[in-house]
Structure 1
Amino acid sequence: MGLVVTREELKQVVRAQKEQNKIIVTTNGCFDILHVGHVRYLAEARRLGDVLIVGVNTDDSVRRLKGPSRPVNNENDRAEVLASLECVDYVTLFPEDTPVELLTEVKPNFHAKGGDYDPEKLAETPVVESFGGQVKIINLVPGKSTTSLIAKIDKSKEKSNDTVNC
């Protein structure tokens, strides 16, 4: 089970982990409505090293990336839920739209991204490679995404609104 830490606290954590020659893995995302796809992805990311650090977009960042109706869950709730997973060691929030600044601070050995990303097009790739790290693409679980869950909920609400109660 992990801890939610500030960026300043994370710097100290990373320093201590690197002194112990730990392999540090980072990943990032909105993680708005946690589902099995997220859990499997994070477990796979954790297997890349000794320590998994998850960067979570703040609420303002999620709104810029996903639209005004998101996030469904606030940043503190999303961070706490992620930190409760056995495979996650540390969670920190970041207000930027990309994790480039966070990666520059952490300098992970590996940065994991989901299979829907092309490493050549990621803003993170040149940053991670600049300090000798690698970007690793992890296959996603087909049909599992927060967007598809929200669509399913919306469709379910439409059906229930069409039903006449007698």
Structure 2
Amino acid sequence: MYERPDGIENCRIWIDGCFDFAHHGHAGAMLQARQLGKELYVGVHSDEEILANKGPTVMRLDERITAVEACKWTTKAIPDAPYVTDPEFMDKYGCPYVVHGDDITTGANGEDCYQVVKDLGRFVVVKRTPNISTTDLVGRMLLMSKNHHYPPITRSTDKLLSEDNLDRFKRYATDNTGLKPGSAVYLNRDTLEEVVAPGAAPENVVYIDGGFDLFHPGHIEVLKIAHEEASRLNAKVIVGLHDDVVVNEYKGLNYPIMNLLERSLCVLQCRYVDGIILGAPYKPTPEFLKKLGSTNVVKVYHGPTEIDEGVYDEVDPAILTRWQAQVRPYEH
């Protein structure tokens, strides 16, 4: 257990990074940081700073800001944060402590980016999420590997619902404080099995499904639209995630790049989501939607891209909605 400064629970916490190819490891660090204090400010390095210290980014600054802002544990995203953490920059935003994982980050000169704040006693360590990084994801693409895939839920859930994974689901399902129950997690088998109980059971649901691989601003945009519609209809957003075998069947190659656990945690950390269903079918039939029990499905969303013919044929046309992407200029 890492040491915690006295009174940190009353402080605004700072965390910074590249947040490139934003994934559940980034969200895990933000969750732990948010649990320590009353607010979380997230500094995001510029494309130029990252290029000078690490190499070119995959995502532009505006895309990385969008990803950070969508994390439910973020209070405010701060663009153009210095690559080497600057206590004066932290002071500008009223953050006495910076949080980082238990690994070392160095700048272009090979020196520890956090040495200055460490020397000042303003550095707090949290556990780094294992087995995930932007480098890992790029490696999977280049190597065309499928070793990360999970078996279908119908065959076995031992790996997906291991003790460690269950703990992750519970942590990522917390509310925006990271301390209380928030989102629901269900497993689709003969019935919808409750993996993590919701903070409050919804009466109405806006349902959206997909692979949500390499969780990105396009996914965030549609989830935000669904959330806005759900708020209007007094409903909750439930996201159905297809398992790895299903995604691979319709995408081919070595897709999905992220496995079901990784994709589900990325969706679960999003502030626009109230619950997820693991192993949702590719075709949302009336029989499947009835598994939500007494809940009333008021909308079923799907994206603007072309899909296989007949996927949504059994969904009531009155509740089926095809969303259109909105490209918004980045301002800061």
- Name structure 1 gaps, 5 residues minimum: 1-20, 161-166
Alignment: residue pair count: 132
**Secondary structure of 1:136's aligned partner:** strand
Residue 144 of structure 2 aligns to a residue in which SS? helix
Q: 1:114 to 1:29 in 2, by over 3 A?
A: same
State the match for 2:84 in structure 1. Answer: 98
Q: CA deviation at 1:39?
A: 1.1
- Do structure 1's residue 83 and structure 2's residue 69 form an aligned pair? yes
* Residue pair 2:13, 2:99 contacting (<8 A) in 1 also: yes
Amino acid paired to 1:82: V
> Which residues in structure 2 correspond to 1:22-61 (within 5 Å)?
23-61=11-49
**Once the 2 structures are TM-superposed, how far is the Cα of residue 102 of structure 1 from its aligned partner?**
2.0
Q: By how many angstroms is 1:109 displaced?
A: 2.7
Shift of 1:45: 0.6
Amino acid at match of 2:79: L
Match of 1:126 in 2: 116
**How many percent identity over aligned positions?**
23
Q: 1:142 deviation in Å? A: 1.2
Shift of 1:134: 2.6
Structure-1 residue corresponding to 2:127: 139
Cα distance per residue 1:30-86 (max 9 Å; x no partner): 00011111111110110110110010010111111222xx21110011011111111
Greater share of helix = 1
Q: Distance in 2 between matches of 1:49 and 1:136?
A: 12
Q: Is the 8 A contact 2:15 2:33 kept in 1?
A: yes
Instruction: Give the aligned partner of residue 108 of structure 2.
Output: none
CA contact (8 A) 1:52 1:87 kept: yes
Shift of 1:99: 2.6
* Partner AA of 1:92 in structure 2: I
Q: 1:128 to 1:52 in 2, by over 3 A?
A: farther
8 Å CA contact 1:104–1:127 kept in 2: the answer is no
Question: Within the alignment, does 1:153 sit opposite 2:141 as a pair?
Answer: yes
Q: Are the aligned partners of 1:24 and 1:49 in contact in 2 as well (CA < 8 Å)?
A: yes
- Is the 2:90–2:96 Cα contact (8 Å) retained in structure 1? no
Q: Structure 2 regions of 5+ residues with no counterpart?
A: 1-8, 106-110, 146-252, 254-332
SS at the partner of 2:74? Answer: coil
Q: Give the secondary structure class of the aligned counterpart of 1:47.
A: helix
CA distance in 2: counterparts of 1:108 and 1:122, whole angstroms: 20
Secondary structure of the residue aligned to 1:92 is strand
Name the Cα RMSD after superposition. Answer: 2.5
Distance 1:106 1:129, change over 3 A: farther
The structural deviation recorded for 1:104 is 4.2
Contact 1:60–1:95 under 8 Å retained in 2:
no
Tell me, in whole angstroms, the C-alpha distance in 2 between the residues paired with 1:80 and 1:105.
Answer: 22
Give the TM-score normalised by structure 2. Answer: 0.36
Higher relative CO (Cα under 8 Å, sequence separation at least 6) belongs to: 1
CA distance in 1 between counterparts of 2:81 and 2:125 reads 23
Q: 1:110 aligns with which of 88, 97, 104?
A: 97
